[in-house]
Amino acid sequence: EAGVTQFPSHSVIEKGQTVTLRCDPISGHDNLYWYRRVMGKEIKFLLHFVKESKQDESGMPNNRFLAERTGGTYSTLKVQPAELEDSGVYFCASSPLVSNQGYEQFFGPGTRLTVL
Amino acid sequence: AQSVSQHNHHVILSEAASLELGCNYSYGGTVNLFWYVQYPGQHLQLLLKYFSGDPLVKGIKGFEAEFIKSKFSFNLRKPSVQWSDTAEYFCAASIKAAGNKLTFGGGTRVLVKP
């Protein structure tokens, strides 16, 4: 079974540019989460999709961030325009809606975003 | 608001030493608790989890953690570490009512010297 994949693995952009990160969850996982780790800080929740619906976007920093999950499969996270403080590692995680394995989330490798 | 704190940012120890990483959470209700690990160059993976039942949880690679409700703690232990345990360790908590989103501690970097 393929794990959670993220693309790109690294992105270096200049302040003011736009970047789109992609996450492909494990097939069949209806829950999809985005997290971010800014250097030196803890991993923080950004938002949560259940299928194609945004369940909780309380962690989104501001309106420069837009997340979508068309069709309830892969998700994209767009940052427009990027600012220096957006640099960090963006993680995606997925989990089944119902599971007898508890609420474990499976993480992707992350996208390291550097804004210059 | 829910929060998780880890006691140490960095730990250095020698092979065969015992490891204990502290984790405390703040939430009065029913929480789910996790330890995740990130080995160098790899993605986050689950070491162990606690939802209910026996407060002593055994995970992969010889790790275990003890949930002590009265202390709001979920400390991670390993009796004898190996060089391959060099990694960053994250404690996390979630509650079902909040969509099971994870709240992470700051992480602890563990370096095991051969």
- What does the pLDDT average to over A61-74? 93
Name chain B contacts of A93, Cβ cutoff 8 Å: 44, 102
Whether residue B102 is predicted with pLDDT greater than 60 in this model: the reply is yes
Identify whether A111 is part of a domain. no
Identify whether A116 is part of a domain. no
The mean of the pLDDT values for chain A is: 93
Residue B69 has φ and ψ, to the nearest 5°, of -60, -40
**Are A44 and B49 an interchain contact pair (Cβ–Cβ within 8 Å)?**
no
Q: Give residues with Cβ within 8 angstroms of A78, minimum separation 6.
A: A18, A19, A20, A21, A65, A66, A67, A68
Identify whether A21 is part of a domain. yes
Q: Name the residue of chain A whose CA is nearest to B50's CA.
A: A102
Q: Is B54 helix (H, G, I), strand (E, B) or coil?
A: coil
Identify whether A115 is part of a domain. no
Identify whether A12 is part of a domain. yes
Name chain A contacts of B99, Cβ cutoff 8 Å: 31, 48, 50, 55-56
CATH number of residue A70's parent domain: 2.60.40.10
Whether residue A62 is predicted with pLDDT greater than 80 in this model: the reply is yes
Q: Domains in chain B, ordered, with CATH?
A: 3-113 (2.60.40.10)
Structural domains in chain A (count): 1
Residue A95's Cβ-count burial label (10 Å; 0-12, 13-18, 19+) is buried
Identify whether A68 is part of a domain. yes
Enclosing domain of residue A81: 5-97
Whether residue A47 is predicted with pLDDT greater than 60 in this model: the reply is yes
- What does the pLDDT average to over A84-110? 88
Nearest-5° Cα angle at A77, A61 to B5: 50
Q: Is A17 helix (H, G, I), strand (E, B) or coil?
A: coil
- B8, B37, B44: best mutation site toward chain A, by most A Cβ within 10 Å? B44
Question: How far apart are the C-alpha atoms of B55 and B65, rounded to whole Å?
Answer: 8
- The per-residue pLDDT for range B56-72, each reduced to its tens digit, is 999 999 999 999 999 99
Name chain B contacts of A103, Cβ cutoff 8 Å: 32, 49, 51, 94, 96, 100
Measure CB to CB from residue A33 to each of B36, B42, B101 and give the nearest one: B101
